[in-house]
Amino acid sequence: MNKEAIFLLIHGGHIIDPSQGIDQIGDLLIAEGKIVQAGGTVIPGETKNLDATGLVVCPGFIDLHCHLREPGFEDKETIATGTKAAAIG
């Protein structure tokens, strides 16, 4: 890990990660976009703090809700153009 890395401490959040069987209130230490420590966190020198009390902290959510404009509004979007755009991100 780069010694110049700026750390982010997310503390007091409701951590949920079903793939790891985690569902608890706790702290996460993030460096270079990755979780480097969980739980009893040792805080390095230059750390930004984020109070997540009352918030949910998860590895990610995916929004599967969309409106493709077929039938009837193909001039706005088709199934082909909408799914292609979604695949690209």
pLDDT in tens, 67-82: 888 888 888 888 888 8
Check residues 6 and 22 and name the one with the higher pLDDT. 22
Mark whether 72 and 37 lie in a shared domain.
Answer: no
Q: Which residues contact 11 (CB under 8 A, 6 or more apart)?
A: 27, 41, 49, 50, 51, 52, 53
Domain that holds residue 76: 61-89
Tally of domains in the chain: 2
Residues 83 and 49 grouped into a single domain: no
Residues 52 and 66 reside in one and the same domain: no
Answer yes or no: do 28 and 67 share one domain. Answer: no
Q: Are residues 20 and 49 in the same domain?
A: yes
* Cβ count within 10 A of residue 81: 14
Please give the residue that has the higher pLDDT: either 23 or 39.
23
Residues 46-74: tens digit of each pLDDT: 889 999 999 999 987 777 778 888 888 88
Mean pLDDT, residues 10-24: 91
Most confident range, picked from 27-31, 33-37, 57-61, 63-67 = 27-31
Query: Could you tell me the CATH number of the domain that includes residue 42?
Result: 2.30.40.10
Same-domain pairing of 70 and 29: no
pTM for the structure as a whole: 0.59
* Same domain (yes/no): 53, 70: no
- Cis preceding-peptide flag for 71 (omega within 30 of 0): yes
If asked whether residues 6 and 33 sit together in one domain, one would say yes
